[in-house]
């Protein structure tokens, strides 16, 4: 270990690892400082990978229950929870081993310990003392938001960190929050056999999706028996040996009581930057996020931000894109060259692994208007599409948005079986800046679910 580097990366998750790899490949002396209990990052250890492993089993149990529609008669499936935990753990160990090997064998130094800035170009790492560098990448990720609700802190509620260990399958679950974590938690426990209620502070259900997508998901929840309590925030939590008693609603006259065996808090995450003492590096007190420009550069030009602590969307592909751009740009600056690598905010993509899945990518209609476009949209339903009818999708649809004057594709959204997988077709269109006419020149195999994008593109051509 040195005491001076060309670049110090704080955080060894997806974004930080990408920055370190790119910068060290350009010949920079790089250190990655990571103070987490376990190496691997949020996605591998407590986010994307373990939750999707659990959801796969939940979805298969749901499919068994719904098999009568396809002429298959079976009894109620039973869950071997120990086998499910073992499968999940085995998968995560493989993913973690791959990341840990990369961190330990990379062309950079890995330093284990919590870091904090002591000046603009110096940090202190617990157990290692002072380290300095002309450039830094902050990649410290995010942490759970736990609201100050009376009685909550004293109760044994679960967050996503608890769910990945699947302590049990409760008879009844209340999920607070309707983002990706909240909705996936609701569908996980419903599939595994719990009675589920979702508490949503507002309506529509999926506030970041187009209304038609949110309405489709609301109908699917109703079909599955998932109860939704709209526009009544959780105001008090009580817990005893019989379980939870939740008060929802603002006033005494409006408040109602909900009883459940387990409470899941999923109201969101926030950038994890409070512990690294950014004001010592020249930033203002009380920052909520490390804001970055298209080069991943913060207001302090020698400090770059990547991933959940900086990104407007907490998704892995943007974190990696930002990490690679930051690594390249810092290498350029050290060689007194101009920065050229950017991360493209147009290529955002959010997927929610419910059943069916929900996806949004690119610009929404409102975002497009604010960006100066004249958006035109069209939609197409899966229950009017060949493969969609075959698989029995009743509520799903896809939407496509383009600019009226140029015909360029601006964004898309959808709700349907495995729609996140074939939404990458539209990601390619966004990356290549295709028009709707260009897109329709690309053939699609029949009958497939992904073929639906050509159907909605044909509808959109008529609108244009």
Last residue of a domain, one of 314, 345, 376: 345
The separation between the first and the last C-alpha atoms of the chain, rounded to the nearest angstrom, is 61
pLDDT at 207 over 80: yes
DSSP code at position 129: E
Write the CA distances from 215 to 207, 212, 220, 395, integer angstroms: 11, 5, 9, 9
Q: Which two tokens stand for residue 120?
A: 């603009």
Q: Is residue 303 part of a domain?
A: yes
The confidence score (pLDDT) of residue 45 equals 75
> Cβ(222)–Cβ(190) under 8 Å?
no
Q: Are residues 239 and 92 in the same domain?
A: no
Residue pLDDT, tens place only, 354-385:
999 999 999 999 999 999 999 999 999 999 99
Give which of 51, 1, 62 is closest to 31, Cα–Cα.
Answer: 1
Last residue of a domain, one of 229, 249, 267: 267
Q: Are residues 83 and 171 in the same domain?
A: no
Q: Are residues 187 and 240 in the same domain?
A: yes
Q: Which two tokens stand for residue 123?
A: 């940090």
Q: Are residues 230 and 242 in the same domain?
A: yes
Q: Are residues 408 and 446 in the same domain?
A: yes
Residue pLDDT, tens place only, 213-265:
999 999 999 999 999 999 999 999 999 999 999 999 876 556 799 999 999 99
Domain that holds residue 197: 160-267
Q: Are residues 165 and 44 in the same domain?
A: no
Q: What is the pTM assigned to this prediction?
A: 0.92
Q: Are residues 319 and 395 in the same domain?
A: no
Q: Are residues 137 and 280 in the same domain?
A: yes
Mean pLDDT of 159-183: 95
How high does pLDDT run on average in the chain? 94
Q: Are residues 192 and 68 in the same domain?
A: no
**Lowest mean per-residue pLDDT among 116-125, 148-157, 200-209:** 200-209
Residue pLDDT, tens place only, 304-363:
999 999 988 778 889 999 999 999 999 999 999 999 999 988 888 999 999 999 999 999
Q: Is residue 148 part of a domain?
A: no
Q: Are residues 378 and 438 in the same domain?
A: yes
Domain of residue 261, CATH code: 3.50.50.60
The confidence score (pLDDT) of residue 101 equals 87
Q: Are residues 371 and 443 in the same domain?
A: yes
Q: Is residue 351 part of a domain?
A: no
> Cβ(99)–Cβ(44) under 8 Å?
yes
Q: How far apart are CA 373 and CA 239, in angstroms?
A: 51
Q: How far apart are CA 381 and CA 414, in angstroms?
A: 9
Last residue of a domain, one of 215, 245, 267: 267
Q: Is residue 49 part of a domain?
A: yes
Q: Are residues 451 and 332 in the same domain?
A: no
Domain of residue 426, CATH code: 3.30.390.30
Q: Is residue 154 part of a domain?
A: no
Number of structural domains found in the chain = 3
The confidence score (pLDDT) of residue 9 equals 97
């Amino acid at each position: 270990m040195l005491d001076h580097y060309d670049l110090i990366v704080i955080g060894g998750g997806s974004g930080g690892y990408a920055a370190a790899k790119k910068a060290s490949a350009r010949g920079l002396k790089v250190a990655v400082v990571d103070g987490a209990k376990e190496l691997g990052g949020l996605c591998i250890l407590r986010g994307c990978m373990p939750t999707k492993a659990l959801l796969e089993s939940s979805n298969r149990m749901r499919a068994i229950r719904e098999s009568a529609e396809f002429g298959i008669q079976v009894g109620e499936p039973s869950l071997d929870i120990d086998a499910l935990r073992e499968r999940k753990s085995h998968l995560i160990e493989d993913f973690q081993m791959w990341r840990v090997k990369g961190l330990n064998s990379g062309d950079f130094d890995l330093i284990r310990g919590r870091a904090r800035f002591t000046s603009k170009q110096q940090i202190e790492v617990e157990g290692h003392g002072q380290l300095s560098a002309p450039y830094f990448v902050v990649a410290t990720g995010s942490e759970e938001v736990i609201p100050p609700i009376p009685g909550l802190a004293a109760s044994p509620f679960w967050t996503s960190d608890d769910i990945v260990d699947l302590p049990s399958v409760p008879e009844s679950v209340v999920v607070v929050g309707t983002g990706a974590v909240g909705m996936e938690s609701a569908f996980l426990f419903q599939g595994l056999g719990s009675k589920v209620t979702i508490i949503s502070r507002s309506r529509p259900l999926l506030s970041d999706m187009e209304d038609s997508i949110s309405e489709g998901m609301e109908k699917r929840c109703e079909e599955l028996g998932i109860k939704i309590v709209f526009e009544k925030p959780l105001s008090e939590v009580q817990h005893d040996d019989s379980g939870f008693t939740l008060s929802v609603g603002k006033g005494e006259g409006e408040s109602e009581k909900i009883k459940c065996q387990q409470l899941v808090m999923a109201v969101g995450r926030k950038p994890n930057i409070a512990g690294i003492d950014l004001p010592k590096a020249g930033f203002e007190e009380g920052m909520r996020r490390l804001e970055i420009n298209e080069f991943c550069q913060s207001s302090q030009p020698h400090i770059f931000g990547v991933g959940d602590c900086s990104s407007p969307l907490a998704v892995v592909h943007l974190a990696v894109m930002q990490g690679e751009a930051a690594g390249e740009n810092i290498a350029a600056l050290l060689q007194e060259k101009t920065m050229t690598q950017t991360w493209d905010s147009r290529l955002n993509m959010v997927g929610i692994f419910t059943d069916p899945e929900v996806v949004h990518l690119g610009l929404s209609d409102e975002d497009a208007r604010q960006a100066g476009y004249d958006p035109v949209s069209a939609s197409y339903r899966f229950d009017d599409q060949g493969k969609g009818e075959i698989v029995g999708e009743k509520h799903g649809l896809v939407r496509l948005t383009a600019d009226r004057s140029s015909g360029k594709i601006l964004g898309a959204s959808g709700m349907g079986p495995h729609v996140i997988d074939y939404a990458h077709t539209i990601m390619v269109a966004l990356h290549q800046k295709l028009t709707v006419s260009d897109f329709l020149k690309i053939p699609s195999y029949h009958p497939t679910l992904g073929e639906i994008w050509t159907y909605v593109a044909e509808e959109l051509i008529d609108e244009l």
